[in-house]
Amino acid sequence: MTLIDILKEQLTRHENKRNKPYKDSVGKWTVGVGRNIDDVPFSEDEIALMFFNDIRKAINDAKKFDWFNELDEVRQSVIVNMIFNMGYAGFCEFRKTIKHIVRKEYKEAAKEMLDSPWEKQTGGRAHELSKLMENGYLS
């Protein structure tokens, strides 16, 4: 065993492995295997890896819709962006929007996107994405 292997085994046993942040014994926010994120923030590489994984998850969630692959890339980006923002379950609540997308009624889908609490929560994002949904490009 290498030093790294020994330390990985020891530290995982001593620190535990947690996939959600928690307060450690001295009140510091901690995640993973003993990562004190109060004092040791994520590096740019770690942020990029998490971001990539989150985008990939949102794309995979979007592909659960059989109509997703029929959309152009611009409208696909709208769906993935919304799923990234509110999660798959949150996006599924946009029943009228989805109904209009399936029917290729993009103007109506865009209107439904703005007729939601999500629009009030995200403001400019919702307006930009609704324009992309309606037009297939940002006008």
What is the tens place of the pLDDT at every residue in 67-115? Answer: 999 999 999 999 999 999 999 999 999 999 999 999 999 999 999 999 9
pTM greater than the 0.95 cutoff: no
Q: How far apart are CA 75 and CA 66, in angstroms?
A: 14
**Predicted local confidence at residue 139, as pLDDT:** 61
DSSP code string of the chain? --HHHHHHHHHHHHH--EEEEEE-TTS-EEEETTEETTTSPPPHHHHHHHHHHHHHHHHHHHTTSTTGGGS-HHHHHHHHHHHHHHHHHHHHT-HHHHHHHHTT-HHHHHHHHHSSHHHHHHTHHHHHHHHHHHHSS--
* Percent of the chain clearing pLDDT 90 (strictly above): 96
Mean pLDDT, residues 16-40 taken together:
95
Domain 44-135 classification at class level: mainly alpha
Q: Give the pair of three-digit tokens for residue 96.
A: 């009228």
Domain residue ranges in the chain: 3-36, 44-135
Q: How many CB atoms lie within 10 A of CB 24?
A: 12
